[in-house]
Every structure is written in C-alpha cells, then in structure tokens.
Homo-oligomer: A and B are copies of this chain.
C-alpha cells in the first residue's frame, strides 16, 4: 500500500507514464493498451481525462506480454493476474490461491515438455541434415 494519490497533493515519488510512452516502451500500439484496459488487465489512474500509468501497470503489462508470447488467451491471462493480487486475508482464500497455482504449474510444465520434445525432434532432424550435407561432398 503506497498511499492513494487521488486529489491530495501528489507525492513527489511514484513515477508515471503516458499511454504513448508505455506503448512505445512495450512495443505495442496505444490501441492494444486500451484493449487490455477494456478487458480489465490494466487499470491506469486518471489525471482529468488522460490515463496515468504507474509501476503497477508496467508489472502487469510484462505479465500480459509474456503470457501472450506463451500463447495464452487474454482472458486466461486476466485470471492469473487477478490471482497475483487477489485478497489473501483468510485461510480459505490462501488455499484457493495455492490450488490455482498448482493448476498453472501443471499447465506450464506440460508446455515445457512439449517444447523439449519439439527441440529434441529438431535436433535429430538437424543431425540428419548435416549428415546428408557431409555425404554430399
């Protein structure tokens, strides 16, 4: 909890960014960032009408983009982001979190097996290619 900024005097800490800066830095368009906001993946503050992005939003964007690189749909990415900052006051909530984490773990480990398999196949294929190439000389 860093303190609400709202209409009280701005703390001189807490750096912020505009949507254009954020978009450029993360290599996406502002439309993309807005789309993520429409889906509730980021929730920037407002100075008047303009969006103000903070470190929290940058963290989320990193999670989102990694999720996308891994091919997860945005909806699923949202659930995992929500997981990361869900309320964890009660034991039941903590246990729910731990269960979700296990699910995610299983998924990711399955993917890693798939990747390792694919890499192994690529290797044997590459070996065959190099063999054929040697034989050709």
Contacts and interface: CB of A to CB of B under 8 A. Distances in A.
B118 A70 contact: yes
- Determine the interface band of chain A, counting residues with CB < 8 A from chain B: 35 or more
Contacts of A69: 110-111, 114
A118 B108 contact: yes
Given A122-B104, A132-B94, A115 B84 contact: no
Interface stretch (A16-24, A26-34, A48-56, A123-131): A123-131
Decide if the interface of chain A is mainly helix, strand, loop or mixed. helix
A98 interface: yes
Nearest to A109: B119
Interface of A: 66, 69-72, 84, 88, 91, 94-95, 97-98, 101, 104-105, 108-112, 114-119, 122, 125-126, 129-130, 132-133, 136-137
